[in-house]
Amino acid sequence: MPVELMLPVDDVLAAHDDVVSNIIRLPRAGASPVGDVILCDVARGAASDLLQALHRIGLDRAGSITVETVDLALSTRARHTADSVFGGDDDAIVWQEVEARAGDEVRLSATFIVFMAVATMIATVGVVSDQPILIVGAMVVGPDFGPLAAMAVGIVRRKWRVVGRSALAIGVGYASAIVISIGFSWLMVLIGIFPRDPLSNDHPMTEFIWTPNVLSYIVGLLAGIAGVLSLTSAKSGALIGVLISVTTVPAAGAAALALASGEWTLAATSLWQLFVNLIAIVTGGAITLAVQITVVRRNDRRRRELQGVGVR
């Protein structure tokens, strides 16, 4: 923390004394820029407000702000400050954290494309062999939920650059994966691993992949809700995000297989399934974020009203 920001930072911390505890100051510990290092515990539900206040005084530009999650804090003071915030920490949202995660997910890289291609090729094998376990494997490998979640965040927070970069990552990722998987399917047919007409037989376990209906949209919508909750919650299963591709990567794999086989109708329905579920996931995610914003603002307003009458 630069010297010139010491007093403004102290003022910010004092203004948030009901949610900040265990303040530690290390005088002149900073070498570049020269200044103090301050450590403190902040109730998760109030972290966004505090970070915004520090941003307004320019601490993130002249110095730096680092946020770490504390798994266990045995402190009566910390527990009191957390109790002063409406809503449990599990439901609290740190918007700066969410936007940082979303920004990290929109980078179009060779690794992202390779993961997309590998996941789609696994899905083609799952369709040919009619094996749901391989479809699950494709879902786990697929990295497509990151850009979809970032798109939902960008729409709700009106960060159109993030929306554009997310759409580019999804478009290029799926186009590349499908093209590579078409070549993979041709190779498998050529060397005799796939049958000449891999989609001619019945596929009772995987046929749902290329038969879109209203349930396809509902499943995608629910997947978007679950995925965004996993992104914003303090406690979420790491596997939730990757499993959101349940209705996307398998459809891309079926489309690639159909295109390689000249099954144009099945290719069209598979691509439609993919499109419907992408839209549904983004819609579900955006609705979830919008509701969370409304709830957080209501809780903040209620907390300020109670503070105004002296309730802590």
- Residue boundaries of the structural domains of the chain: 3-77, 95-297
Position 84 scores a pLDDT of: 47
Q: Quick one: which of 108, 103, 81 has its CA closest to 92?
A: 81
Domain 95-297 -> CATH class:
mainly alpha
Specify the pLDDT at position 94: 73
pTM exceeds 0.75, yes or no: yes
Residue 85 is predicted with a pLDDT of 47
pLDDT per position as a tens digit, 56-71: 888 888 888 888 877 6
pLDDT at residue number 230: 78
Q: Which residues of the chain have pLDDT under 70?
A: 71-92, 101-105, 234-247, 299-300, 303-312
Nearest alpha-carbon partner for 182 in 200, 194, 168, 170: 194
